[in-house]
Structures are given as structure tokens and as C-alpha cells.
Chains A and B, each alone.
Chain A
Amino acid sequence: MSSFGEKIVKHSESIFLILFVGILLWMSIGPIMQYKLVHDMPMGFGASDSYAWYAYAQNIYETGNFKYTAPFMNLGVEGFSSPEPPMFMQFTAFLSYALGIPLYDAQTLLGVLSVIFGALIFFLLIKEYSPFLAYLSLPLCVFAFALPFVNGILVGVLPSIFSFFFLIACIFTLLHMDWKYSSIILGIFISAMIMAHHARVFEFAFFGGAFIILAFLFKTINLNFIKKLLISGLTAFIISLYQLSIFYRRLSESSGNFSFTPSDAAGYIWITINDFGLVKYVILAGLILCVYFLIKERKNPKAIIFIFPIVAFSLLQFLRMNKVYQISFYWPVFLSLPLGIILFFFLQLRLFSKVSNAKLFYLALSLTISLFLVCYSYYSYKGTSVEQMSLIDLNQWNNLVWISKNTEPDSNILFFYFNDFPNDNIYHFFQSKRLSFYVPLSEIDSAIEQNITKKDYEILDNSIAFFYKRDPTSPLKTISLDKNIYLKNMSICDFNYIYGKRTKTPLIQDGKIRVMPMSEERARYTINLINTLLKNNNFEIVRKDNEAYLIKNNNPGGECL
């Protein structure tokens, strides 16, 4: 073989990984970001939560830190700290500055990179047992960027997705506690995982617990391991303490949100094994084979890896606890091993024993299966497209940005009618960077039905639920304030600005374009209301485009209707 040929064979694994990452990028940032990196508005922000994380990241981007929330998120009051896990937002802000791309593009990119890195670490984990098994397992990871699994990125479960790849890194480090500094490395991974999404501790307890039980049974555990584990735990605790002190407040006050009761969480993004299509039969058979390999290879400490897909499958399939549904977005990564083991098992039967260069053969086979699964996943979900996943359109985005740049920072704004999404999707109002309120769609519909124009509607605030402050003298001490003390009854006459949508526009829901019922009536009603308000000299139009009116009230609190 020529020296060039030898080099190709020597670096064939690296070439394979580059090609595989290329396939994953093509499947993910390609369609989600519409084959561009820099945009005029967020891409792949398919749900309200994406805008909430963006608002937090934007606050870090502008103020430089995650110390306090932006006042408009806490009813215009300064000095509140958020119990939300900060790592994803902090790293998004860092990445935006580091890469020189807009913050929202950095957010989507980070979501995608998290899954890709998660897949690559899991690949390394399997490689500990057998490189060939690792090559054969990797193809299933392409499902991570096919619907419905990619919904994790699109509906904004981003901190969770970010934390899962730290969880896989923790598992990987657990297998290498003999390395120098492993306890510190594990401690840093655990604290990053906790501060990326606190709920991961629960899954880590299952993965880590299963690992320790098996390591005990396989007799690979020793006193040094326990000692290192304790150092890791202590390191993680010290690093996370500042953030945990405020999260503790949320945990102690929440009822149900962190409960361990079974729940059918997440509604339409609920994922089952059926979402793998016909591949599910291979996966299920592979899970059984994992159990077989665990028993057969019990003297091989590296065979512990076979427990991880079993845990990932069981957590979602059998326990169905709140927040645990989020592991479903990583199922294509965790369940890649059962797919690989089936192929590996048959190839081990020496059906292909005459193949001279096994490594190249396995790599080529893996790439072929990957491409087949890419085609299969696209074929299975040809009715929907991730390209169309966005909660608001460019006009609406531009209007929100305009408000943030052209209105007084301490002004408040009523989004009377913005779009036809259900009213729990409201965090995009944060992009106006103003204290914002909204009228529920049902309230508008009721007024349309009664055919009345009035000033007293049910008006709801668009603020976060947490009103926590740190004690200035002792930052680990936190107090919780009652949100209601900052709220007051308001009519439409009390706002500095009123935003009203003036056209019916189709919206994209579950990847399909729809004009919602009542859309036209709501727009007509809003125009009537704004025209009525404009008869009062205190009101003036400050912005008008094809999408909406923005009117200013020069005498907020006075009579208007």
C-alpha cells in the first residue's frame, strides 16, 4: 500500500468522525438555521421557552453577568435573582462574543452542538468496549435531528439538552476514575450538569447508581474509587453552592413541579419507542442483547456500558416522572448502543470473516447505515419540516426590536393582540425589553361575541414566577417576595403603549402553516379598538406597518374610553 493509502487507513476513524459530524450538521443546523449562520431573527425558536432563555442570555450579554434578572422580567423591579440554571445562557452569551455571531444564532447553534458532543462522548464510551461496536452504534444518532426527537431543540428544552451531554461526560469519567485529576474532572462535570439543569441530578442518580451496583458486583470498585467519588461530590457542591442557594428557594416552594409523581409531561412532544419506526424492533432486541452481554461479560469491567441504554430506556418507558421525559430527546444517543450490538453480534458470528480490513469495513458499513437512517427518518416525517419552526415571524420580531430601541426604558406596554398562539406562549414579549402585559385571546373573543368596545379587559402580566432576592450581607441567604405586592389592577388606559395586530396572518404550528379560527375577527376588533382610542387626543400612532399598530398614550392613567 502506498504511504498515502497507509495514512488514510491510519486516520480512517478521524475521517469517519468528520464525515459523521458533517452528516449531523447537515441534518441539524442546515434545516433549522436554513443553511445560513447569521440571521435577522431567531431561527428554530419554536416555542415560548426559547425566547425566555434568550431573554436571560441577552441580559447576560448586555449586563455581563447572571447576577440579576432584567427588571422587565420581574414587573419592572430591579435586584431580583433567578433560580433558573444559568450555564446554558451564560455559555450562549460567551459563544456569541467568541464566535462573533448574533446571540440567538449562538443559542440555536449551542443546542445543536450539545447533542453532537453528547453523541461523540457516548461513542467514546462504547469504544471503551469495542471500537467496532462504537462504529456500528453511531448511525442511530442521526435520529436525534429528526422529528420528533429534534423537538427538544425546537421547543426550547435547551438547558436540559445542554446538561445531558455533561451527564454523559460524567458517566464517561466514572469509567476512568483511575486517571490523574479524575475526581476534579468529575466534580467539574457534575457541577456543570447541575448548573445547566438541576433535574439531571435525578437521572445521574440512576445512571451512577446502576454503575456503582454493577461495579460492586463486577468487583471493580475499591476504596480509592469511593474516596475519589467523595472528592468529586464535594468539588461539585462547592462550585455549585452559590447557584444552589437560590435554587433551593425554588425547590422548597414548588409544589408538583419537582414531584416524583408520574405525569404525562410535555403533551405533544411526548416521545415513545414507536417514534423510531421499524428500527424500534432492532432497538428492543438490542436492549435484550444488552442484558445478555451484561451477564455474559460480567468479568469484563468495560461491559458496564451495556447498562446505560437500559437505564435510559427504563427511565422514560416505565417511570414517566415529571421532567424525566427530557431524556427522550437523547434516546437516539443512548439507544444507539442496542442498535450497534445487534449488528455487532451478527458480524461476530463471522458472517463476514473473510473481510481483510475489518476497520475500514466497519466504518464503511456504519456510514452506509447512517445515510440509510437519514433517508428513512426524512421519509417517515415528510409531512412536517423543522425549517418552518418559529413562533413569530420577521415582521413581529422587527416590531419587538423596534419597541426595545424606540420607547422609554421605564415604559410599559400592553400587547392587546399579538398572534393566535395559546396564551401560555408569551415569553417572546420579553424581546421588547419593556414591562409587558397581554390580554388573553379568550377575553378578546368574548368581547367580539358581545360586540362591545371596553377599557376593562382581563389583563395578565408577562413576568417570570420567581421573585427571589439575595441577602446583600450574606449572598447565600435568599428571600422570596410575594409577586402580588407588585401587581395592580390595570385597564387599557393605564399603559404607555398598546400594541395591536391588524392583519390575520397564518402561523406555523407543528410544522404546518395554518390560519387560526377567529384570526380575522380579532384583527378587525383590534383595529376598531385602536381607532376608538385614537379619537382621544392623548393617543398617537408611533408605529404602523403591515403587521400591527403601536400607539402611545401620553396620559397613562387618565380617561381614554
Chain B
Amino acid sequence: MPLKNISEFKQDLVLTGLLILSFSIILQIVLYKESFLISLMTVLRFFYSIVIPGLCISLYLKNKLNYSARLVLGSVFIIASTSITSYYLGILGLHVKYHPWIIPPLMMLLGVLLFLKKDKK
């Protein structure tokens, strides 16, 4: 992987880390009757299943969209594609309880591959 890509990934990672921290604090303020651990775990799991796959899948648009636009659009795309994938995986016989273990990593992998493919060209 070229050095430029690694530094871009690093930048995304730092921003995502800061975002997780910000939303953990915001969610704890909004849901002040809830324990901080539950708020933190919810934010972490939300980022794992929707936001990070969204950022990965939109990596190939890095030159066209800034971080926040990629985050929003990527997340919405992940919600759409996960709903569809989950629906059909369920119909094919794979229980929905396994989907959070399968779909987000698949989307992340797909996003990184698309990005690297684009970069190769």
C-alpha cells in the first residue's frame, strides 16, 4: 500500500476517534439517565456497524467529498445496502443475529478494495 494511502487512513482514523469521543459525550448528556458504559458501547457499536463501513465504502470518493460528507453519505449507503443484504441473507437462511458479524466487515473490505483499485489505475 502506498505511503500516501496510509497517511490518509491515519487522518481518517484520528478524526473518527475524535468523533467517537464527541458522540459518546453527547449521547451521555442526552441520555443522562443511562450509564456511561451503555452510551459508550452503543456509540462504538454504531460506528462499527454503520459509520466506519460507510467511511470505508466512500473512500474512493475521497477526492470529491470531504470527511463529513463521506461520513453522512457513506453511512446512508451502508444503511441501504445492509438492509437489502440482511433481508436476502435472512431469506437464504442465515439468521439475522449473525449479520452484524458479517455485513460490516464485508462492507469495510469492499470499500478498501474499491479505493485501492481506483488508486492503482
A residues with CB within 8 A of B: 13-14, 17-18, 21-22, 25-26, 29-30, 33-38, 60-61, 64-67, 86-87, 90-91, 93-95, 97-101, 117, 120-121, 123-124, 127, 165-166, 169, 172, 179-181, 185, 188-189, 191-192, 195-196, 239, 242-243
Contacts and interface: CB of A to CB of B under 8 A. Distances in A.
A99 B42 contact: yes
Contact of A65 (B23, B83, B91): B91
A188 B81 contact: yes
Contacts of B31: 29-30, 33, 35-37
A97 B102 CA distance: 12
A169 B87 contact: no
Contact of A91 (B19, B30, B72, B86): B86
Contacts of A166: 76, 80
B38 A14 contact: no
B90 A64 contact: yes
Interface in B32-89: 32-34, 38-39, 41-42, 45-46, 48-50, 60-61, 64, 67-69, 72-73, 75-77, 79-84, 86-88
A91 B38 contact: no
A191 B84 contact: yes
A90 B72 CA distance: 21
Contact of A169 (B26, B50, B73): B73
B3 to A, nearest CB: 23
A18 B42 contact: no
Contacts of B46: 98-99
Contacts of A25: 26-27, 30
Given A30-B30, A99-B46, A188 B97 contact: no
Nearest to A190: B80
A192 B68 contact: no
B29 interface: yes
B100 A98 contact: yes
Given A25-B26, A94-B100, A117-B75, A60 B90 contact: yes
Interface residues of B, number: 54
Contacts of B13: none
Ranked nearest first, the 7 interchain pairs of A and B with the lowest CB-CB distance are A65-B90, A64-B95, A192-B80, A98-B100, A98-B49, A22-B26, A91-B83
Given A64-B94, A101-B42, A180-B60, A90 B73 contact: no
Given A18-B26, A66-B91, A99-B49, A239 B33 contact: no
B10 to A, nearest CB: 16
Contact of A18 (B23, B82, B87): B23
B59 to A, nearest CB: 12
A121 B72 contact: yes
Contacts of B103: 94
Given A35-B31, A169-B73, A195-B87, A188 B80 contact: yes
Contacts of A243: 87
Contacts of B81: 188, 192
B49 A180 contact: no
B87 A87 contact: yes
B72 A34 contact: no
Of listed A65, A195, A243, residue having the most chain B CB within 10 A: A65
20 contacts: A14-B68, A22-B26, A25-B30, A30-B31, A37-B27, A37-B39, A38-B38, A65-B87, A90-B83, A93-B86, A94-B83, A94-B86, A97-B100, A99-B45, A123-B72, A166-B76, A188-B84, A189-B80, A192-B80, A195-B87
A22 B73 contact: no
B83 A195 contact: yes
Given A180-B60, A180-B118, A100 B41 contact: yes
Contacts of B99: 94, 97-98
B83 A61 contact: no
- Secondary structure dominating the interface of A: helix
A343 B83 CA distance: 38
B56 to A, nearest CB: 14
A26 B82 contact: no
A94 B69 CA distance: 25
Contacts of B29: 22, 26
Given A37-B34, A180-B60, A185-B77, A91 B49 contact: no
A86 B39 CA distance: 28
Nearest to B72: A120
A242 B91 contact: yes
A117 B95 contact: no
A87 B84 contact: yes
Contact of A66 (B39, B69, B90): B90
B96 interface: yes
B22 interface: yes
Contacts of B95: 64-65
Given A21-B23, A172-B73, 4 more contacts: A17-B68, A29-B31, A38-B38, A189-B76
Nearest to A168: B76
Interface in B102-117: 103-104, 114
Nearest to A113: B79
A428 B95 CA distance: 25
A179 B42 CA distance: 33
B87 A90 contact: yes
Contacts of B68: 13-14, 17
A347 to B, nearest CB: 23
With most chain A CB atoms within 10 A of its CB, the pick from B48, B83, B86 is B83
A67 B90 contact: yes
Contact of A37 (B38, B64, B72): B38
A124 B111 CA distance: 21
Contacts of B91: 65-67, 242
A132 to B, nearest CB: 16
Contact of B80 (A26, A86, A127, A169): A169
Contacts of A117: 72, 75-76, 79
A169 B29 CA distance: 30
A192 B83 contact: yes
B69 to A, nearest CB: 5
